Chains A and B, each alone.
Chain A
Amino acid sequence: QKEVEQNSGPLSVPEGAIASLNCTYSDRGSQSFFWYRQYSGKSPELIMSIYSNGDKEDGRFTAQLNKASQYVSLLIRDSQPSDSATYLCAVMGQRSGGGADGLTFGKGTHLIIQP
């Protein structure tokens, strides 16, 4: 059973500070890792993808991957009230017979940026 774990929060961060979101996954064969943002009543929006160990930066967002520890994180610098949303960690593995599979999602972390 593939599992993705996230702290549900809420995580409250002051405006302008760094928000740190964490995720662990169970399937060592996982290949690809994604962070999605979901506003209430909306569909998930892709924020970051990361495929290899280390850091990947895109604007105010940095994704970090450590496959040995089975750990993915997302840092949001200079947090804004508009960043308030649920952040979903998603992991893509491989099926036992090879080939891609659907994403396994965590339940999400509810982030609140306090003005």
Chain B
Amino acid sequence: GAGVSQSPSNKVTEKGKDVELRCDPISGHTALYWYRQSLGQGLEFLIYFQGNSAPDKSGLPSDRFSAERTGGSVSTLTIQRTQQEDSAVYLCASSLTSINEQYFGPGTRLTVT
């Protein structure tokens, strides 16, 4: 079946602009996760949704980052007033429930110039 999809695959934006990243989880998966991977760095957990709710937003790096999920499916991660340090690959993963294996999408490579 179809895996996790993300769009766009690449995004180049100017410092100070807002960007929106989209994630389509595997059909039927109730849990959805956002991570980011910076060059040479490990994977950093950002936020987790169970259904449409995010129990804990403390992993978001700053208040410029926000995320929402609607209809228990698609999620968007929004970064306002982008900074160069936001440049990274943003990865979305989904799992059947919150305790199951997570499957990753291909990621969105964000470059802030």
Contact = CB atoms under 8 A, between A and B. Distances in A.
Interface of A: 31-32, 34, 36, 42-46, 49, 88, 90, 92, 95, 99-108
B98 A43 contact: no
A88 B43 contact: yes
Interface string B9-38: 000000000000000000000010101000
A43 B33 contact: no
B55 interface: yes
Given A92-B99, A101-B56, A108-B42, A43 B48 contact: no
Contacts of B65: none
B33 A102 contact: yes
Interface in B35-59: 35, 41-43, 45-48, 50, 55-56, 59
Interface of B: 31, 33, 35, 41-43, 45-48, 50, 55-56, 59, 89, 91, 98-99, 101-107
| Residue among A49, A90, A102 with max Cβ neighbours from chain B (10 Å) | A102
A96 B35 CA distance: 20
A86 to B, nearest CB: 10
B99 A43 contact: no
Contacts of B98: 99-100
Contacts of B59: 102
A14 B14 CA distance: 46
Nearest to A34: B101
A103 B99 contact: no
B43 A34 contact: no
Contacts of B31: 100
A43 B33 CA distance: 14
Given A95-B55, A105-B43, A46 B101 contact: yes
Contacts of B106: 42-43
30 contacts: A31-B99, A32-B99, A34-B101, A34-B102, A36-B104, A42-B106, A43-B91, A43-B106, A43-B107, A44-B104, A45-B104, A46-B103, A88-B42, A95-B55, A95-B56, A99-B98, A100-B48, A100-B50, A101-B48, A101-B56, A102-B33, A102-B35, A102-B45, A102-B59, A103-B33, A103-B35, A104-B45, A105-B42, A106-B42, A107-B42
